[in-house]
């Protein structure tokens, strides 16, 4: 598969890193006005770094637009005449609808909106996909590519904003929980490095327990909470302080914001 990534900032470079790690292409064009985030890939085999978006499009079958919503329109217009029915066009731009993309490159083109998260750089993304009606034909191909970089879920476009909050912003939410646990561990007397390692491996273990056992979180909580013990004391205090409520309210605030961006 000949792939181009247009826009190699935070997310574009993460996708590039994941693809290069997997060698899952016959050629990869990385195109940006500022290619500083991908210079480390200069010597990679079959990878071309360029400032010319048109060159990247002309030499590729799959084009991933990893641009901010405010830039994607002008770039789509710039390359629209080069996009044919053989191409699969993917966009990660949050809130930029399939309809808007169709209005620029044509509704007869294969278009899939894709929302990975930054864990794509290490092949552990949760990636949600929504296609236009023509793009449905290529959804299995899209799933195959992104399944190599984590896990995929095909969802209706109306749910893509919510999925962005849970999975893309979600990386930041989980990072903050790890950081807060580390701060707690330092207060209990661990060195910062030790505290980080304790928090991180415990977080990894918790996620792995759920993934591998398929159990509900509360079932795993019940196994840890000794009656009158320290875990239930800590957990109940966290809930008195509004832990679950704070998370849910944060998710709702994030969702409100992404809908303002969409409608703005
Ligand atoms: N799923 C996720 O985890 C994340 C998703 N996003 C979404 O991904 C999109 C991109 O976000 P970031 O990667 O953070 O943005 P960014 O600003 O880091 O990267 C965008 C890149 O586009 C380039 N660019 C701008 N105009 C261009 C042009 N005319 N031609 C070629 N390149 C051009 C910029 O130089 C920049 O390197 C956004 O829509 C954002 O909402 C962003 C961060 C995380
Ligand atoms: O914070 C944002 O707006 C973007 C969309 C998802 C992740 N980053």
pLDDT in tens, 107-142: 999 999 999 999 999 999 999 999 999 999 999 999
Residue 212 has pLDDT above 90, yes or no: yes
CA-to-CA dists, residue 250 to 128, 149, 164, 169, 242, angstroms: 21, 28, 13, 11, 12
Rounded Cα–Cα distance for residues 98 and 53 (Å): 21
Say if CB 77 and CB 55 are below 8 A apart. Answer: no
Give the ranges where 94-216 is alpha helix by DSSP (H). Answer: 98-105, 139-147, 160-163, 170-187, 192-213
What DSSP element (H or E) covers 64? strand 62-65
- Give residue 239's pLDDT: 98
Rounded Cα–Cα distance for residues 45 and 49 (Å): 11
The two three-digit tokens of residue 248, written as one number = 């849910």
Rounded Cα–Cα distance for residues 67 and 56 (Å): 15
The two three-digit tokens of residue 164, written as one number = 């962005």
Residue 263 has pLDDT above 60, yes or no: no
How many CB atoms sit inside 10 A of residue 190's CB? 16
**Confidence category of residue 24, pLDDT binned at 50, 70, 90:** confident
Q: Indicate whether this complex's ipTM tops 0.85.
A: yes
- % of the chain with per-residue pLDDT over 90: 94
Give residue 93 CA to ligand 1 midpoint distance, Å.
8
Neighbour-count burial of 223, counting CB atoms closer than 10 A to its CB (0-12 exposed, 13-18 middle, 19+ buried): exposed
Give residue 51 CA to ligand 2 midpoint distance, Å.
25
**Cβ of 121 below 6 Å from ligand 2:** no
- CATH code of 2-155, in short, is 3.40.50.720
- Give residue 95's pLDDT: 87
The whole-number average pLDDT for the span 96-101 is 95
Pocket probe mutation, ligand 1, options 50, 76, 92, max atoms within 8 Å of Cβ: 92
**Confidence category of residue 262, pLDDT binned at 50, 70, 90:** low
**Cβ of 131 below 6 Å from ligand 1:** no
**Cβ of 72 below 6 Å from ligand 1:** no
Per the prediction, the chain carries an average pLDDT of 95
| Topology of the domain comprising 164-263 | ProC C-terminal domain-like fold (1.10.3730)
Q: For the segment 60-95, what is each residue's pLDDT rounded down to a tens digit? A: 999 999 999 899 999 999 999 999 999 999 999 988
**Cβ of 169 below 6 Å from ligand 2:** yes
- Give residue 154's pLDDT: 98
- Tally the residues of the chain: 264
Rounded Cα–Cα distance for residues 27 and 83 (Å): 18
**Cβ of 7 below 6 Å from ligand 1:** yes
Of residues 127, 116, 94, 90, the one with CA closest to residue 105: 90
CA-to-CA dists, residue 89 to 35, 136, 159, 249, angstroms: 21, 12, 20, 35
Q: Where are the domains of the chain?
A: 2-155, 164-263
**Cβ of 128 below 6 Å from ligand 2:** no
The whole-number average pLDDT for the span 180-207 is 98
Give residue 89 CA to ligand 2 midpoint distance, Å.
20
Neighbour-count burial of 140, counting CB atoms closer than 10 A to its CB (0-12 exposed, 13-18 middle, 19+ buried): exposed
Give residue 117 CA to ligand 2 midpoint distance, Å.
9
Model-level pTM? 0.92
């Amino acid at each position: 598969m000949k792939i181009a990534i247009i826009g190699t900032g935070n997310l574009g470079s993460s996708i590039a890193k994941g693809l290069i790690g997997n060698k899952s292409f016959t050629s990869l064009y990385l195109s940006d006005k500022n290619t500083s985030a991908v210079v480390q890939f200069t010597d990679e085999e079959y990878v071309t770094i360029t400032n010319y978006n048109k060159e990247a499009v002309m030499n590729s079958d799959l084009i991933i637009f990893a641009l901010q919503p405010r830039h994607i329109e002008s770039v789509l217009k710039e390359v629209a005449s080069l996009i044919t029915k053989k191409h699969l066009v993917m966009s990660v731009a949050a809130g930029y609808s399939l309809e808007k993309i169709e209005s620029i490159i044509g509704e007869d083109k294969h278009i899939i909106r894709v929302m990975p998260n930054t864990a794509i750089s290490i092949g552990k993304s949760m990636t949600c996909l929504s296609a236009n009606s023509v793009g449905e034909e290529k959804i299995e191909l899209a799933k195959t590519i992104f399944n190599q970089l984590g896990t995929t879920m095909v969802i209706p476009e109306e749910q893509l904003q919510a999925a962005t909050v849970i999975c893309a912003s979600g990386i930041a939410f989980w990072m903050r929980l790890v950081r807060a646990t580390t701060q707690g561990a330092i207060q209990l007397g661990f060195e910062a490095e030790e505290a980080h390692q304790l928090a991180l491996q415990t977080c990894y273990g918790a996620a792995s327990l759920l993934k591998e056992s398929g159990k509900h979180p509360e079932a795993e909580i019940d196994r840890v909470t000794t009656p009158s013990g320290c875990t239930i004391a800590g957990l109940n205090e966290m809930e008195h302080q509004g832990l679950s409520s704070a998370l849910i309210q944060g998710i709702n605030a994030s969702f409100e914001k992404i809908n303002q961006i969409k409608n703005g």
